[in-house]
Amino acid sequence: MTVSSTSESVNDTLARRNVAVLVLAQAFIGAQMPMIFVLGGLAGQSLASNPCWATLPISLIVFGSMTTAPWMSQLMQRYGRKAGFFVGTLGGALGATIGAWGLIQSSFPLFLLGSYFTGIYMSAQGFYRFAAVDTASDDFRPKAMSYVMAGGLVSAVIGPQLTKFTADAMAVPFLGTYLSVIAINIVGALLFLFLRIPKPAPLAEGADGGRSRLELLKSPRIVVAIISAMVSYALMNLMMTSTPLAVVGCGYSKANAADVVMGHVLAMFVPSFFTGHLIARFGVEKIIATGLVLLAGAGLVGLSGVQLENFYIALVLLGIGWNFGFIGASTMLAEAHAPEERGRVQGMNDMIVFGMVTVASIASGGLMNCSGSSVIAGWNAVNLAMIPFLALAGAALIWLVMRPDQD
């Protein structure tokens, strides 16, 4: 959304207020995502009849996010960000409730259904980054997006620590964690009462509604932004989804797995304090390229061994690489469309991105549990699977940079 020329907009006073609310939402409500990602595969492993489907609950979360993104984006375009974010927390609470009931009943199908509804929250959370720039000036946009992503730093600490305290707190394993997630969504929803993002003005009759989806996909910058975000997020999910299974499978504890994931999520969000500044200084293309290199480094470290320090280093590199690649791609996308195209392009972007992430999370479980005779063989298969996707994103970025006209 293009900001008006009022003094409040020029000074980014309103934008900073909204960023503060979104940072708190990312920190508190977002804590549910590392909690569920730590335990989703382990719970799935305990409920599924076939270990190849252990990570299917995480896949259903991402699939839920993918299928929600188009209508969530349109809902926000019509009724505003606040309405969409309330729907997101409702989905998160409902998903955790169904998931908890699935654990009590030892029902894998019920647990999967709950995971799908959790995807509604995940989709809404994905729009926090775009909401951050709705009332921001051009100069403040990359910083606003980066600051909101930095809110995940707190969730990276809260989520895994709550997991440690709640995973075995009740007779039914993992039930305490899912009950905690219900409370997080209900309490966290109150934050959005303080959000002040104007609803998009309806188009006047006969006014130009902007480019169609097909026309948007003809823009090189939009295409490369989508590819970069898709690869960054999918590879992060591919590796992270298998990590708890690999850590526990190599003889380490669930607490070790939670600590590795915490280190990973910290690495995902700590750089956000300066990613926006780096983008402003060096350009978005260089930051995306750096992210892709770091993702490749994560795969190399993962292939080099299964000592606990290998998991820590690989997952930290994975987190930083995701941060640079995903925030860079999101910034590129936000700069490449008009305000009236916002709902169309952002929904399309997240549908494509999370569609690929869904494939990656499904593949993660198959590669990890069913592609070799050992945990190590499965873990190596996960890391090797990153190569073709990194090549795709790298080639797309080089193509964009070498074009004389990058619009």
Instruction: Convert the pLDDT of each residue in 119-152 to its tens digit.
Output: 999 999 988 988 988 888 878 887 888 888 888 7
How high does pLDDT run on average in the chain? 87
More confident residue, 127 or 40: 127
**Tens digit of each residue's pLDDT (9 = 90 or more) over 163-173:** 888 988 898 88
State residue 1's pLDDT score. Answer: 39
Percentage of the chain surpassing pLDDT 90?
46
- For the stretch 182-231, pLDDT in tens is 999 999 999 999 999 887 766 555 555 677 778 888 889 999 999 999 99
pLDDT digits (tens, 9 = 90+) for 21-31: 999 999 999 99
Count CA atoms closer than 13 A to 196's CA, side-chain side. Answer: 12
Where is mean pLDDT largest: 39-48, 127-136, 144-153, 324-333? 324-333
> By CB neighbour count within 10 A (0-12 exposed, 13-18 middle, 19+ buried), where does 283 fall?
middle
**Highest mean pLDDT out of 91-95, 124-128, 255-259, 368-372:** 91-95
Contact 211, 341 (CB under 8 A): yes
Q: What pTM was estimated for this model as a whole?
A: 0.75
- The answer to whether 17 and 196 have CB atoms below 8 angstroms apart is yes
d(CA 78, CA 58): 30
**CA 294/CA 317 separation, integer angstroms:** 6
Angle at CA 243, nearest 5°, toward 245 and 271?
160
Angstrom CA distances, 58 to 115, 176, 354, 356, stand at 7, 18, 12, 13
Which domains occur in the chain, in start order? Answer: 8-198+213-402 (1.20.1250.20)
Measured CA to CA, the distance from residue 307 to residue 316 in angstroms comes to 15
